[in-house]
Amino acid sequence: MKKNIVLFVLFILPIVAYLFFASGVNGYTKLPTITPNTADFGKWETLDGKPITLTGKVTILGFSGFELLKNRGNLFNLNQKIYQRYHEFKDVQFVVLCPKGTEQDAKKVITALGAFTDVAQWRFVFATPEEISKYYAQLNLVEKLDDKFGTPKVYIVDKKRNLRGRKLVKDEMEGYNTFHPAELSNEMLDDFKVILYEYRAALKKNNNASRKI
């Protein structure tokens, strides 16, 4: 009997624990959609001069506001907790929507991040405050932008431009506060894994279907 207990503790219990944590602490098999079919960016200017679209990419979307440089620590938190884990995924991009006039601030942030990070998947997009307000409004979020047209929160947008997040009453979460590293390491990382799992599962299913055909 004692031998069986020891074997259970040494071998079975760790496997059960791994499966529990790997499944995601929020318990979702699919992250709920908050706002379907959000708008794309159109021909807004980018820092690197390259066109940008939300379609076909898993996007972490942020709104820097005019105080981009002042609040750069938030982006550094996001870079450390999420970006560096997933920036090598070709279908992932981190997009920051900034007011026109903050281009030089964005360049300084990119230069600072580039000192220790491959910044290829960081994209900065520029629009007028009015355009930013209009774009944010169509996301249908409860919280509003501050008076500088920014927010410390970032949002997950899937490849079909659906805004995703937690929609359950007990833990409703539209976005993830970059000011709090713990929230990025826990809730956001967990939810981001769920999104990536969705696409991996869909890809595997499609590959299996192709083999059968």
Positions of the chain with pLDDT under 70: 1-29, 168-171, 202-213
Domain-embedded: residue 19: no
pLDDT value at position 1? Answer: 63
pLDDT value at position 23? Answer: 44
Q: Tokens representing 12?
A: 């079975």
DSSP 90: T
Instruction: Let me know how long the chain is.
Output: 213
User: How far is it, in rounded angstroms, from Cα 27 to Cα 58?
Assistant: 21
128: Cα within 13 Å, side-chain hemisphere: 3
Domain-embedded: residue 20: no
Domain-embedded: residue 148: yes
Q: Tokens representing 133?
A: 């307000």
pLDDT value at position 167? Answer: 76
pLDDT value at position 206? Answer: 62
pTM: 0.82
Q: Nearest CA to 154 among 85, 55, 30, 65?
A: 65
CA distances from 146 to 48, 114, 143 (A): 27, 28, 9
CATH number of the domain that residue 48 is part of: 3.40.30.10
The two beta strands, 122-127 and 45-46, are antiparallel
Domain-embedded: residue 203: yes
Domain-embedded: residue 155: yes
DSSP secondary structure of 46-61:
ETTS----STTSEEEE
pLDDT value at position 207? Answer: 59
CA dihedral 74, 119, 164, 129 (to 10 degrees): 60
User: How far is it, in rounded angstroms, from Cα 157 to Cα 33?
Assistant: 9
Domain-embedded: residue 8: no
Domain-embedded: residue 39: yes
Contact 72, 109 (CB under 8 A): yes
pLDDT value at position 205? Answer: 62
Residue linked to tokens 């159109």: 42
The two beta strands, 58-64 and 92-99, are parallel
Residues 6+ away with beta carbon under 8 Å from 30: 194, 198
User: How far is it, in rounded angstroms, from Cα 213 to Cα 210?
Assistant: 5
Tens of pLDDT, residues 136-192: 999 999 999 999 999 999 999 999 999 999 876 456 789 999 999 999 999 999 999
User: How far is it, in rounded angstroms, from Cα 67 to Cα 81?
Assistant: 22
Domain-embedded: residue 25: no
- Boundaries of domain holding 192: 30-212
Q: Tokens representing 97?
A: 């929507």
The total of structural domains in the chain comes to 1
